Amino acid sequence: DTGVSQDPRHKITKRGQNVTFRCDPISEHNRLYWYRQTLGQGPEFLTYFQNEAQLEKSRLLSDRFSAERPKGSFSTLEIQRTEQGDSAMYLCASSLTQTGGYGYTFGSGTRLTVV
């Protein structure tokens, strides 16, 4: 297991289209996080899972956004009816529950551009 993988690396979509991103965490990590990062800013928390349960969602996560983690393994983040304001880097990270104090392992992100 080489780390957290995200797919795709880049996505260009037209406004109004739906997009889905995938994240594969480190296999033994039971926590998975989604963050959004706009240009020149720090990552902002969107949501997190412990195993398959989605335990917290940020107010940033409008009803156009949905995330899943079936079977507690990989996760998907879907954005419906994309808007230009959704253009950002979407970062996935994972950790063991007990090691939040050791930080997270991040993936390389998916850069979304809505045109």
Partner 1 sequence: AQTVTQSQPEMSVQEAETVTLSCTYDTSESDYYLFWYKQPPSRQMILVIRQEAYKQQNATENRFSVNFQKAAKSFSLKISDSQLGDAAMYFCACIIQGAQKLVFGQGTRLTINP
Interacting residues toward partner 1 by CB under 8 A: 33, 40-45, 48, 55-56, 89, 91, 93, 100-104, 106-109, 111
Beta bridge partners of 35: 45, 91
CB atoms within 10 A of CB 47: 21
Q: At closest approach, how far in Å is the CB of 86 from partner 1?
A: 18
Residue whose CB is less far from partner 1, 14 or 102: 102
Cα radius of gyration (the chain): 13
- The DSSP 8-state label assigned to residue 59 in this structure reads T
Residue whose CB is less far from partner 1, 41 or 62: 41
Q: At closest approach, how far in Å is the CB of 11 from partner 1?
A: 14
Name which of 53, 23, 51, 52 is nearest 35 in CA terms: 23
Residue whose CB is less far from partner 1, 56 or 68: 56
What's the CA gap between 47 and 68, in Å, rounded? 10
Q: At closest approach, how far in Å is the CB of 62 from partner 1?
A: 18
Helix (H), strand (E) at residue 34:
strand 31-37
Residue whose CB is less far from partner 1, 27 or 98: 98
Q: At closest approach, how far in Å is the CB of 35 from partner 1?
A: 8
